[in-house]
């Protein structure tokens, strides 16, 4: 493999990382804070992508599509959290997994019902190419990378500087203690969940021009997102960012070396991580992490 192919692959990998980071944040936080495995995050991702498609084909404005994607995803997240997930907090992990998985199935069903089974193409809103280090790079992918970085910085600021962010961090450590301090942890859960699902919607609408928007697009992304979260360590946002960067490169560079690797290489990474380092890169071994007690 020559260097001409390697550099674009790395840049493309960065944009894949951006998407992965946005969509897997919800799973990571959901596990760290609420102790549930929310597989239905990918519903918001798929809805985001479909909103982008609808807005682009109706109004022609991609920006509107992104906004609609975020809003719809956040609203769906609010609905699911307040109506359903409240009943599963504190239940065993397997139960939450199955419940959220059936929500995921319902979401797929609604999408099939609304938009049909055929994949919908969304054309890229920006066609400009920008030369970086002698490589022609689509501006749109740079835009994705920049968005993901901005989101990361905003989340760090929110977690470290605001009261609600501090409450979230404390909640990840010990939810009961936070409740004992007189903070309404349930409201914190809702806020976090809505933000996370909004970000998944953002990821979906950003990813719509890069992939085919279809009802099953969430399935592949679900597995990739879980690999990202597990590699980074459940509940760690920094870990999610780092592992998203790694996974983006694994997918992109691996796919450049031999195209089927783009699909299977992440699974090989997941296989090795679970067997040899189940806490992930930044995970902490404790009561919620790693092997069975």
Partner 1 sequence: MTRLIKASYGPLVLVFFFLMARYIFPNKMTFIIELAIFSIYVMGNNILYGYLGMVSFGQPFYLGVGAYATAIYLAHIGANPLIGMLLSLAMGLVVGLILGPAFIRLRGDYFALINAATCAIGMFTIEKLLLPITRGDDGLWYRSRMSQIPFLDIRMPDKFFVFALAIFLIVLILYNFMDKSALGVSFRAIKDNENKMKFLGYDTFKIRWIGFSLASILSALAGSLYAINFGFVNPSLAEPHRAAEVLVATLIGGAGTVFGPFFGTLAFLGIKDLVSRYIAHWELAVGILTLLVLFRFSKGIWGNTEAIINEKIGRKKNRTMEKLLTDKAAT
- Judged by the rule CB under 8 A, the positions of this chain that interact with partner 1 are 37, 84, 87, 92-95, 97-99, 101-110, 112-113, 116-117, 215-216, 219, 223, 226-227, 230, 260, 263-264, 267-268, 270-271, 274-275, 278, 290-292
Nearer to partner 1 among residue 171 and residue 215 (C-beta): 215
Whether residue 88 contacts residue 103, with contact meaning beta carbons closer than 8 Å, is answered with no
Which CB, 2 or 259, lies closer to partner 1?
259
- Cβ-contact 31, 239 below 8 angstroms: no
Distance CA 37, CA 95 (A): 9
| Smallest separation, CB 244 to partner 1 (Å) | 17
Which residues, in sequence order, are CB contacts of 183 under 8 Å at separation 6+?
167
Kindly state the greatest CA–CA separation across the chain.
Answer: 60
DSSP H helices, the chain, are 3-34, 41-58, 62-83, 93-115, 139-161, 163-173, 175-180, 185-207, 217-232, 237-257, 261-276
Please state the closest distance from residue 221 (CB atom) to partner 1, in A: 12
Q: Which is nearer to partner 1, 7 or 262 (CB)?
A: 262
Q: In angstroms, rounded to a whole number, what is the distance separating the alpha carbons of residues 122 and 208?
A: 6
Please list, in sequence order, all residues whose beta carbon lies within 8 angstroms of the beta carbon of residue 111, skipping any fewer than 6 positions away: 46, 47, 50, 215
Cβ-based nearer residue to partner 1, 102 or 162: 102
DSSP string of 190-240, one letter each residue: HHHHHHHHHHHHHHHHHHTTTS-B-TTHHHHHHHHHHHHHHHH-TT-HHHH
Alpha helices, DSSP H, located in 84-123 = 93-115
**Min. distance of Cβ 291 from partner 1 in angstroms?**
6
Residue 236 Cβ vs partner 1, minimum distance, rounded to whole Å: 16
* Choice between 138 and 215, CB closer to partner 1: 215
Q: How far apart are CA 28 and CA 26, in angstroms?
A: 5
In angstroms, give the least distance from the CB of 49 to partner 1. 17
CA neighbours within 13 Å on the CB side: how many for 164?
11
Q: Is the Cβ of residue 209 or residue 232 nearer to partner 1 in the bound state?
A: 232
Task: Indicate the residue among 96 and 252 with the shorter CB distance to partner 1.
Answer: 96
The nearest distance, CB 135 to partner 1, in angstroms, is 29
The region that residue 182 occupies, defined by phi over 0 for left and psi between -120 and 50 for alpha, beta otherwise, is left
Q: Quote the least distance from Cβ 64 to partner 1, whole Å.
A: 27
| Cβ-based nearer residue to partner 1, 204 or 266 | 266
- Min separation Cβ 169 and partner 1, Å: 23
């Amino acid at each position: 493999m020559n260097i001409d192919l390697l550099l674009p692959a790395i840049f493309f990998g960065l944009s894949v990382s951006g998407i992965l980071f946005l969509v897997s944040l919800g799973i990571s936080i959901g596990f760290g804070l609420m102790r549930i495995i929310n597989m239905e995050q990918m519903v918001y991702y798929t809805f985001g992508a479909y909103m982008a498609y609808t807005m682009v084909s109706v109004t022609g404005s991609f920006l509107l599509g992104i906004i609609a994607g975020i809003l719809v995803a956040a609203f769906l997240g609010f609905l699911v959290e307040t109506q359903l997930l409240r009943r599963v907090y504190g239940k065993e992990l397997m139960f939450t997994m199955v419940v959220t998985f059936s929500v995921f199935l319902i979401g797929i069903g609604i999408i099939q019902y609304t938009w049909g089974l055929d994949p919908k193409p969304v054309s890229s809103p920006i066609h400009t190419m920008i030369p970086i280090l002698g490589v022609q790079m689509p501006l749109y992918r740079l835009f994705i990378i920049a968005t993901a970085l901005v989101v990361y910085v905003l989340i760090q600021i929110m977690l470290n500087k605001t009261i609600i962010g501090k409450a979230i961090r404390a909640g990840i450590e010990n939810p009961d203690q936070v409740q004992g301090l007189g903070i309404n942890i349930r409201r914190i859960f809702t806020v976090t969940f809505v933000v996370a699902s909004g970000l998944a919607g953002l990821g979906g609408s950003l990813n719509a021009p890069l992939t085919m928007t279809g009802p099953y697009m969430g399935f592949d992304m679900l597995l990739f997102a879980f690999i990202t979260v597990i590699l980074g360590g459940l509940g760690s946002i920094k870990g999610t960012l780092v592992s998203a960067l790694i996974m983006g490169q694994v997918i992109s560079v691996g796919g450049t070396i031999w195209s089927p690797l783009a699909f299977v290489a992440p699974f090989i990474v997941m296989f090795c991580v679970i067997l040899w380092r189940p806490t992930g890169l930044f995970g902490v071994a404790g009561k919620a992490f790693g092997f069975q007690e």
